[in-house]
Amino acid sequence: MRGLIDKLERERGLSKEEFVQLLSGFTPEDADYLFEKSRAAAQSRFGRRIYIRGLIEFTNYCRCDCYYCGIRRSNLNAQRYRLTPEEILECCQEGYGLGFRTFVLQGGEDLTFSGQELAQIIRSIKNAFPDCAVTLSEGERPESDYRLWREAGADRYLLRHETADPAHYGLLHPPAQRWEHRRDCLLSLKRLGYQVGSGFMVGSPFQTVECLAQDLVFLRELQPEMVGIGPFIPHKDTPFGNQPPGSLEQTVFLIGLLRLMLPDALLPATTALGTIAPDGRERGILAGANVVMPNLSPLGVRKKYMLYNDKICTGEEAAEHVSQLAKRLEAIGYQLTVDRGDFKVH
């Protein structure tokens, strides 16, 4: 195993078979060996600085029906909401005061927000906060919308590929949602000059180590600027409500592998990681993650953006408690930083 970890560090990639071997046989000692290297790779580029992004969950209406997701169209128990442009700007205003220089607008695929309307929202954020980056995360839209938003000033786009195995993709989504379409969206976003984030859930139903190896091979090829991964967590009102969650150990091991494979990438310690274990985010950072994304959504709607059971949103992951988060990161030797935190090759 150590030979494979050394090779990954040297060559920034492995074959699918080698990834399968690593993922199916690693011991806790192998993981510690990996984390020493992956942490060092992060620290040599970013020091002990952690970037923060303010997450604004601006709508939970969604036309999609992903079997794992709590805000899927068929979940009639979800209480739906959408923020007004004014409310979105107020979130940014609050976030700016707290030191955020990146705003992430995430939502369900809500076509009530037309391409033009979102472009207008992006322009008003960029006008009011010219020193801030705007990241979008609103799923699969026509390339013409992606272009409009880029022209309006959006800098980055998060679109997890969810799984790079088309057959597995078909087990997580209804037939109308196709792997090839999601992949094509990622390629469009790259072409349009966005800093692109992709990623996947760890431990999603029917996932095998071969699927995960395929995810790593896919990401090596895509060379995204950001990669978000987190454990799958069931949501009670979905078809996967009784499935077991993904594991912390496997998630942090994958963060370590991603850091060695894409050493300059921005890798968040995600909310899902913080939800499955109280020290999940710290464990992610100690495996090489360098971003956290506290929640900036208005308090009244936070509980409604419930992607999975017990999603945390009011403790240290809340933007208004960013100073508590800073203290926790200081306890493991890291500092939060006020910075746009753009991708750069070191």
Give the interface with ligand SAH as residue ranges (CB under 6 A).
68-69, 106, 108-109, 137-139, 159-160, 162, 201, 230, 232-233, 235, 272, 307-308
Nearer to ligand SAH, 138 or 155 (CB): 138
Q: Between the CA atoms of 27, 33, 37 and 38, what dihedral angle is there, to the nearest 10 degrees?
A: 30
Which of the 8 DSSP states describes residue 236? T
Nearer to ligand SAH, 163 or 337 (CB): 163
322 membership: H or E segment, kind and range? helix 322-331
Question: What's the closest the beta carbon of residue 200 comes to ligand SAH, in angstroms?
Answer: 7
Question: What's the closest the beta carbon of residue 293 comes to ligand SAH, in angstroms?
Answer: 11
Nearer to ligand SAH, 172 or 213 (CB): 172
- Phi, psi of 268, deg, nearest 5: -80, 145
Nearer to ligand SAH, 90 or 109 (CB): 109
Nearer to ligand SAH, 26 or 68 (CB): 68
146 in Cβ contact with 192 (< 8 Å)? yes
231 membership: H or E segment, kind and range? strand 226-231
Question: What's the closest the beta carbon of residue 138 comes to ligand SAH, in angstroms?
Answer: 6
Nearer to ligand SAH, 270 or 337 (CB): 270
103 membership: H or E segment, kind and range? strand 102-107
Question: What's the closest the beta carbon of residue 190 comes to ligand SAH, in angstroms?
Answer: 16
Q: Which of 318, 338, 343 is nearest to 328 (CA)?
A: 318
**In sequence order, what are the residues at sequence separation of 6 or more whose Cβ sits closer than 8 angstroms to the Cβ of residue 297?**
55, 56, 57, 58, 83, 91, 305, 313
54 membership: H or E segment, kind and range? strand 54-59
Question: What's the closest the beta carbon of residue 70 comes to ligand SAH, in angstroms?
Answer: 6
- Phi, psi of 58, deg, nearest 5: -90, -10
How does strand 195-202 pair with strand 335-337? Answer: unpaired
Nearer to ligand SAH, 203 or 288 (CB): 203
Q: Between the CA atoms of 293, 269, 246 and 165, what dihedral angle is there, to the nearest 10 degrees?
A: 90
Question: What's the closest the beta carbon of residue 148 comes to ligand SAH, in angstroms?
Answer: 18
Nearer to ligand SAH, 163 or 290 (CB): 163
Question: What's the closest the beta carbon of residue 290 comes to ligand SAH, in angstroms?
Answer: 19
302 in Cβ contact with 106 (< 8 Å)? no
DSSP 175-209: TTS-HHHHHHHHHHHHHTT-EEEEEEEES-TT--H
User: Which single residue brings its beta carbon nearest to ligand SAH?
Assistant: 139
Question: What's the closest the beta carbon of residue 48 comes to ligand SAH, in angstroms?
Answer: 28
Question: What's the closest the beta carbon of residue 230 comes to ligand SAH, in angstroms?
Answer: 6
Distance CA 160, CA 228 (A): 7
Nearer to ligand SAH, 5 or 138 (CB): 138
3 half-sphere exposure, CB direction, 13 A CA radius: 2
